[in-house]
Amino acid sequence: MSDTSFDYSLDERQRTMLEAMGIKLWLPDHEAAPSLAPTPTADPQAAVETVQKPVTAENLEPKQPLAGIESAQRAIKNIVFAEQILEPTPTALALSPRPAGIEQMDWPALQSAVSGCQACGLCQSRKNTVFGVGQAPADSAHAPQVDWLIVGEAPGENEDAQGEPFVGQAGKLLDNMLAAMRVGENGKGLSRSQGVYIANVLKCRPPANRNPSPEEVAMCEPYLARQIELLRPKIILAMGKFAISTLTGSNDPVGKLRGRVHTLKHASLQLPVIVTYHPAYLLRNLPDKAKAWADLLLAMQTYRELSNPNEQASLHTDR
């Protein structure tokens, strides 16, 4: 079996991120070095145990101190592909018709269509539309070339004011989570300006941060669908209930849908979707931060399998 293990060593930035997520690290008293890297061993089970021990999270349930890592590993071994197909859905009454031909638009035309959109009532209370943010495109006529697409729900007050997704405390937490995902160039962490694009299902803020209506989601969804077509990411991380239901087609709670790989079928694309909690939710629900970390591990492993077909073949052969 080829080497399929993660590098679990954490640098200072990742430790800061884990602390920000409320995840405390356990290290043996005698272990001065902060590395969590597993010791090479010929025994696969021993390797798993070596990996798991140092990552105990203080806020995990007492009888399942390693649940975060274990659930990610179980999920990797039992990948379940739940398929969602993005199709046009019934739409709400438009104040002004949604622009025609979204599915043919290039990136600049799509940006322009969103910024002028009045297809649902949210246009009346928004300050700014929030198209998305991420790595700069190679040229202004094309979408950025990114491997990762992060999809959130809808702009909040800060996002509406600044016209950018995931700002404020939730944005800082997302940035820390991305930085801890060392799947960028040369093993670097991700950032919103490198290898990643971040968008929401809704491009306009629902007043008072209320939940978006199904009609509003349906009206706005074609913009996200076209963003996905143009970005052609390798993997999608869906954060929060509305992003997850849009991309998986399931209204089950996040807790039921996380821990496995879903597949989004759209146009000619088949993309893996990993679901997890929204950073704003995590700021209010500390115990679920360990689960979110496990979701990120699953996302990283899935991405590595996609990027390294030999590793993928080996993983599946050896199961």
| Shortest distance in whole angstroms from residue 125 CB to ligand SF4 | 10
71/129 with CB nearer ligand SF4: 129
Binding site for ligand SF4 (CB under 6 A): 114, 117-120, 122-123, 129, 202-204, 216, 219-220
- Would you give the distance in Å from CA 305 to the centre of its chain? 17
Return phi, psi of residue 139, to 5°: -150, 165
46/95 with CB nearer ligand SF4: 95
Residue 122 burial (10 A CB sphere; 0-12, 13-18, 19+):
buried
- Residue 143: count other Cβ atoms within 10 Å of its Cβ: 24
Residue 12 burial (10 A CB sphere; 0-12, 13-18, 19+):
exposed
| Shortest distance in whole angstroms from residue 249 CB to ligand SF4 | 20
Sign of CA dihedral 236, 239, 243, 246: positive
- What is the DSSP secondary-structure string of 44-75? HHHHHHHHHGGG--TTS-TT-TTHHHHHHHHH
| Shortest distance in whole angstroms from residue 111 CB to ligand SF4 | 11
Is there a contact between 10 and 37 (Cβ–Cβ < 8 Å)? no
119/133 with CB nearer ligand SF4: 119
Contact partners, residue 21, CB within 8 Å, separation at least 6 = 173, 176, 177, 282, 289, 290, 292, 293
282 vs 21, 103, 169, 278, 286, CA distance in Å?
A: 7, 34, 11, 6, 6
| Shortest distance in whole angstroms from residue 86 CB to ligand SF4 | 15
126/291 with CB nearer ligand SF4: 126
| Shortest distance in whole angstroms from residue 93 CB to ligand SF4 | 12
Question: 281 by DSSP, 3-state: which?
Answer: helix
| Shortest distance in whole angstroms from residue 155 CB to ligand SF4 | 9
202/231 with CB nearer ligand SF4: 202
| Shortest distance in whole angstroms from residue 131 CB to ligand SF4 | 9
| Shortest distance in whole angstroms from residue 66 CB to ligand SF4 | 42
Residue 304 burial (10 A CB sphere; 0-12, 13-18, 19+):
middle
Return phi, psi of residue 152, to 5°: -105, -165
198/202 with CB nearer ligand SF4: 202
**Which two three-digit tokens encode residue 179?**
């930085």
202/290 with CB nearer ligand SF4: 202
222/233 with CB nearer ligand SF4: 222
